[in-house]
Structure 1
């Protein structure tokens, strides 16, 4: 349990009705005035969930807007992410906290297309598996207008965090991500 959680539950700090959720977010060197946090319980052991997430090459498999992540060294990576209107934004990120099976925190380096920082916590939930709590602080490009445009195009981080965590859960629990869309093979079989 997070020591700063006065409520003794798995809720992310941004959902608290009492206390100082922004201060309790645990994000070092917080970059960004907007903060979003989401949590999901994944029915897998914490070591497996952490290991999959910590390999940044895996993140585009369930993060819908992440085009690619290039690992620059053990602590730095380069992110290319879809933005509204068919554009992309890029930044370099540095890991600020990395505790095996517990937490990964990062901050964007100066010059980022979207200044951001965040923290993902992994908590052993016993027979239920692992509770994953993702907290992200960011500055939307073009301020509030940019945030509104991102929301209209379903690219706003609060919307994406919820969807990405749901896909992460599906992928680790079932080995695939459920979708209403047909993949190419299904489409070809239907036409046959």
Structure 2
């Protein structure tokens, strides 16, 4: 998840997620795993009194073609309610779009790992260890940042163009 900066296990059980919140401010949420079925499903929810209540689950389903479908259900209390949700969409921080990008990035990383494993097997280097996906992660994070900037700039340009009459175009043209 692009907005999650750190996940760490808590001594008293559960996990602490440090994520990028509104306007780049860090938000820390403690979550507990409510269900963990290996290779099938993992579910979580924020602990009582969380600054940003959330809950979700990820399910993995085998396909007839031998692949795996990943299903995600995520609920996050919007900061500042509906107004906050509208502002998030306006500035390109829509949780639904972010989740779509996160899943695309996960697919890219998993396929990269699969390709690397195939290459190692073909060359005879199969050690059973996964090589670090850092290049793919760095490229993905850079693309997410670029998409955010572009999305915000597109919206600013559109609003700017709409605010000028046709006879008085913006100075950048």
Scaled by the length of structure 2, the TM-score of the pair is 0.62
Structure 1 residue 139 corresponds to structure 2 residue 77? yes
Structure 1 residue 116 corresponds to structure 2 residue 116? no
Unaligned runs of 5+ in 2: 114-135, 144-173
Report which of the two has the higher share of helix: 2
Superposition pairs of residues 125-164 of structure 1, within 5 angstroms: 125-164=63-102
Scaled by the length of structure 1, the TM-score of the pair is 0.57
Residue correspondences, number: 120
Unaligned runs of 5+ in 1: 1-62, 183-192
Q: Offset at 1:73?
A: 5.3
Structure 1 residue 85 corresponds to structure 2 residue 29? no
Greater RCO between the two (CA within 8 Å, min separation 6)? 1
Residues 83, 155 of structure 1: 8 Å contact kept: no
RMSD of Structure 2 on Structure 1 (CA): 2.2
Superposition pairs of residues 39-188 of structure 1, within 5 angstroms: 63-72=1-10, 76-175=14-113, 176-177=136-137, 178-179=139-140
Secondary structure in structure 2 of the residue aligned to 1:145: helix
Residues 65, 155 of structure 1: 8 Å contact kept: no
Residues 105, 140 of structure 2: 8 Å contact kept: no
Q: Offset at 1:64?
A: 1.0
**In the aligned structure 1, how far is the partner of 2:141 from the partner of 2:56?**
31
